[in-house]
């Protein structure tokens, strides 16, 4: 695909995997294609990534793969298909990691259904990794540990070994000393249902989410 918008200063050692393969069972239709403020969720998430320090962006599709992929036509996304998407998110992570190039030294895992994740949050996560050398840097709100989350290359094997519904959190929790970037709850809103989408629309109508840059809440 042709290159789309670029981030301010891309780091080709830092990749991203955007997970957009799910069945959307609770949503009732393909939520990756749901419209929010005139843009589909998958396109919104990809556009956010393209404004970050991330270089290569791998988008994993599965359910209605060709339709979801068409939303990224004309961009620099590397779209890969997870034929086993019905088995769970672990298989999508495995497919995404297998598509990363040899130059990838760290990867930020993102979800297509988190509309309030911003480039500022992702860049903070990358900056924390650079500053501390941590192999895991995750977004945290209260007790919730969530994508976007960065993994160093040393953990690619663990990600590639996931299966079923075991997602990135199972790898995070095996590394208890992981770095945390704390954000306000709505930043990590996950659109799993029509009610969640309506909530997102109300938030946008009210002026959006505060704290979306990923500035820590109650900590450094």
What confidence score (pLDDT) does residue 8 get?
52
> 3-state SS of 110-176?
EECCCCCCCHHHHHHHHHHHHHHCCCEEEEEECCEEEEEEEEEHHHHHHHHCCCCCCCHHHHHCCCC
pLDDT-derived band at 25 (thresholds 50, 70, 90) equals low
Report the chain's mean pLDDT, rounded to a whole number: 89
Helical (H) or strand (E) element with 47: helix 41-49
- pLDDT, tens digit, for every residue of 44-64? 999 999 999 999 999 999 999
| pLDDT reading at 6 higher than 60 | no
Location of structure tokens 């069972």: 25
Burial of 11 by CB count in 10 Å (0-12 exposed, 13-18 middle, 19+ buried)? Answer: middle
Say if residues 97 and 16 touch (Cβ distance below 8 Å). no
Task: Using the predicted structure, report yes or no on whether residue 158 has a pLDDT greater than 70.
Answer: yes
Domains of the chain (ranges; CATH) run 14-205 (3.90.550.10)
155-159 average pLDDT score: 96
Average pLDDT over residues 146-174: 91
Say yes or no to pLDDT of 83 above 50: yes
Helices (H) and strands (E) in the chain, counts: 7, 9
pLDDT at 141 over 50: yes
Average confidence (pLDDT) over 1-17: 65
pTM, 2 dp: 0.90
């Amino acid at each position: 695909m042709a290159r789309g918008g670029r981030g301010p200063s891309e780091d080709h050692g830092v990749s991203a995997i955007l997970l957009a393969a799910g069945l959307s069972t609770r949503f009732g239709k393909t939520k990756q294609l749901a419209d929010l403020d005139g843009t589909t969720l998958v396109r919104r998430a990809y556009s956010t990534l393209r404004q970050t320090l991330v270089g290569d962006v791998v988008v994993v599709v599965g359910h209605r793969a060709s339709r979801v992929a068409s939303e990224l036509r004309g961009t620099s996304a590397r779209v890969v298909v997870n034929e086993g998407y019905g088995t769970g998110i672990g298989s999508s992570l495995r497919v995404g990691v297998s598509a990363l190039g040899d130059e990838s030294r760290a990867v930020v895992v993102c979800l297509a259904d988190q509309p309030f994740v911003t480039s500022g949050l992702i860049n903070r996560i990358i900056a924390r990794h650079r500053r501390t050398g941590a192999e895991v840097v995750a977004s945290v709100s209260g007790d919730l540990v969530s994508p976007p989350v960065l993994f160093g290359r040393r953990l690619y094997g663990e990600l590639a070994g996931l299966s079923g519904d075991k997602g990135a959190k199972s790898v995070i929790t095996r590394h208890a000393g992981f770095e945390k970037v704390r954000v306000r709850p709505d930043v990590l809103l996950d659109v799993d249902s029509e009610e969640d989408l309506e909530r997102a629309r109300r938030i946008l109508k009210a002026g959006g989410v505060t704290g979306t840059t990923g500035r820590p809440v109650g900590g450094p």
